[in-house]
Homo-oligomer: A and B are copies of this chain.
């Protein structure tokens, strides 16, 4: 705790935060074609900072999709090597009118294209920094946590006369929110070459189980995200004139999706649960001792009248270790205010499944596709587009890297670490284990109410600082 690196980090907190705000100003929305330039800007900012703080071999690597950023510093002979992962891309900010402050920090920083965005900006009446939080799309997912890594490295370089206590590789992607295909390919290609040779990975894209409670995430759900595209008539038809004769692709999607899951949340695709692996009894028991109150969670986080999901499983079990199926949007037909009596020619539905350990995404996709085709009503042509696909994983904590991270967080937080899973998906963690044969330390500093993927996403600023210090101490302990 008396380390020069930690002191440097504390002295430079304000500047670190200002730099993070600059990164947050770039609307690097990876799913939107119109933000391609912003994606590149964000990658460049990351690469430039890696260069500035002391990394070598800094590369912005072009891909079929968005660029990867790679850097390394490998002069700590005999010390372990970390592979540090984060992502600079963000989810779309929509619905814009539910934000209280600009989703990209400044009102002017956001390209207010179209009437909708300009109308929405009228609701942005609060400052982006309030109650010790920074509010922005990507604040916690994952730009804030990406910047923790860079600022920990900067502090270590500065406090160590240009040297790190361990060897470091950094690999940052820009497609995490859209399936991460490019990094998958890159890791696969470089697994044998030694370019990514490391002893462990540090992944900062998860959260603390509760404020002030140091947390390691040891399991993630996988994701299969599809879009069912349906076509009925050759063009839009008047529902008065053709209602009763023309197939309606919107109604067909309703029929299909209603058959995928029952009212209790049980997924009805044949064979869907065949390979589901249960958590160990020890893990299930540990979850029971976590500070979790279902009623508080319902009220404060979800805000619905009741919670839903499969009977017989706890909330943590359901969201961490049971597969789920959700529909995210049903584009097609008339969705503007008012009424239009149309039978649309085309419609589609964005349907995703969260997967748990041992479920194979390709096997699930096959079963899903077969079932969807089977229950497709007559007169409707369907096509299933896959937006992303990755398996679940559970990581091992019985290693010196996990122990060092726990020791570091104990120093910074003054508390014992809890082990949790996350219902979200970080496919790269599975790949690090399978292709690089290294465990991942998922040391995240988000909070459960940080509004990931939702309006008013935030990052608690003290957690940004504690994250930097925890990483500094983690690497220093490993380098001793």
Interface residues of A, Cβ cutoff 8 Å to B = 31-33, 91-92, 94-95, 98, 113-116, 177-179, 221, 223, 225, 227, 232-248, 250-251, 253-255, 257-259, 261, 263, 265, 297, 301-310, 315, 318-319, 322, 324, 326-344, 350, 352, 354, 377-379, 381, 387-388, 422-425, 448, 451-456
Residues of B within 8 A of A261 (CB): 251
**Contact between B339 and A334 (Cβ–Cβ < 8 Å)?**
no
Once the chains are docked, how many angstroms separate the CA of A221 from the CA of B32? 43
Residues of B within 8 A of A263 (CB): 255, 377
10 sample A-B contacts, Cβ–Cβ < 8 Å, listed by A number = A32-B337, A240-B424, A242-B301, A243-B324, A243-B354, A244-B265, A247-B307, A250-B327, A328-B341, A342-B453
Once the chains are docked, how many angstroms separate the CA of A17 from the CA of B445? 69
Once the chains are docked, how many angstroms separate the CA of A378 from the CA of B409? 41
**Contact between B250 and A303 (Cβ–Cβ < 8 Å)?**
no
Q: How many copies does the complex hold?
A: 2
**Contact between A250 and B342 (Cβ–Cβ < 8 Å)?**
no
**Contact between A423 and B453 (Cβ–Cβ < 8 Å)?**
no
A113 touches which of B115, B242, B302, B318 (Cβ 8 Å): B115
Residues of B within 8 A of A95 (CB): 236
Once the chains are docked, how many angstroms separate the CA of A263 from the CA of B248? 11
A257 touches which of B251, B322, B454 (Cβ 8 Å): B251
**Contact between B250 and A341 (Cβ–Cβ < 8 Å)?**
no
Q: Nearest chain-B residue to A255 (Cβ)?
A: B258
Once the chains are docked, how many angstroms separate the CA of A423 from the CA of B250? 20
Q: In the complex, how many angstroms separate the beta carbon of A160 from the nearest chain B beta carbon? A: 37
Given the known interface contacts A32-B336, A338-B31, A453-B340, the answer about A308 and B245 at a Cβ–Cβ threshold of 8 Å is yes
Q: In the complex, how many angstroms separate the beta carbon of A281 from the nearest chain B beta carbon? A: 20
**Contact between B334 and A94 (Cβ–Cβ < 8 Å)?**
yes
Q: In the complex, how many angstroms separate the beta carbon of A461 from the nearest chain B beta carbon? A: 21
A302 touches which of B242, B377, B378, B424 (Cβ 8 Å): B242
A327 touches which of B113, B333, B338 (Cβ 8 Å): B333
A423 touches which of B232, B244, B340 (Cβ 8 Å): B244
A308 touches which of B257, B342, B378, B381 (Cβ 8 Å): B378
Q: Nearest chain-B residue to A316 (Cβ)?
A: B245
Residues of B within 8 A of A32 (CB): 336-338
Once the chains are docked, how many angstroms separate the CA of A421 from the CA of B49? 72
Q: Nearest chain-B residue to A240 (Cβ)?
A: B424
Once the chains are docked, how many angstroms separate the CA of A455 from the CA of B247? 18
Q: In the complex, how many angstroms separate the beta carbon of A394 from the nearest chain B beta carbon? A: 16
Q: In the complex, how many angstroms separate the beta carbon of A387 from the nearest chain B beta carbon? A: 4
**Contact between A324 and B244 (Cβ–Cβ < 8 Å)?**
yes
Once the chains are docked, how many angstroms separate the CA of A234 from the CA of B178? 25
Q: In the complex, how many angstroms separate the beta carbon of A170 from the nearest chain B beta carbon? A: 25
**Contact between A306 and B247 (Cβ–Cβ < 8 Å)?**
yes
Residues of B within 8 A of A251 (CB): 257, 261, 326-327
**Contact between B423 and A242 (Cβ–Cβ < 8 Å)?**
yes
**Contact between A424 and B248 (Cβ–Cβ < 8 Å)?**
no
Once the chains are docked, how many angstroms separate the CA of A453 from the CA of B237? 7
Once the chains are docked, how many angstroms separate the CA of A448 from the CA of B237? 11
**Contact between B339 and A178 (Cβ–Cβ < 8 Å)?**
yes
Residues of B within 8 A of A257 (CB): 251, 254, 258
A330 touches which of B115, B250, B456 (Cβ 8 Å): B250
A92 touches which of B340, B381, B387 (Cβ 8 Å): B340
A240 touches which of B237, B310, B333, B422 (Cβ 8 Å): B422
**Contact between B422 and A339 (Cβ–Cβ < 8 Å)?**
no
Given the known interface contacts A334-B350, A344-B328, A379-B307, the answer about A238 and B339 at a Cβ–Cβ threshold of 8 Å is no
Once the chains are docked, how many angstroms separate the CA of A448 from the CA of B178? 44
Q: In the complex, how many angstroms separate the beta carbon of A389 from the nearest chain B beta carbon? A: 11
Which 3 pairs show the lowest CB-CB distances between chains A and B? A234-B303, A240-B424, A31-B338
A452 touches which of B241, B243, B352, B455 (Cβ 8 Å): B241
Q: Nearest chain-B residue to A338 (Cβ)?
A: B31
Residues of B within 8 A of A326 (CB): 239, 243, 248, 251, 341, 343
12 new A-B pairs (CB below 8 Å) besides A244-B265, A306-B379? Answer: A94-B340, A98-B235, A114-B114, A233-B302, A234-B302, A235-B303, A241-B424, A241-B452, A245-B297, A248-B327, A308-B378, A334-B350
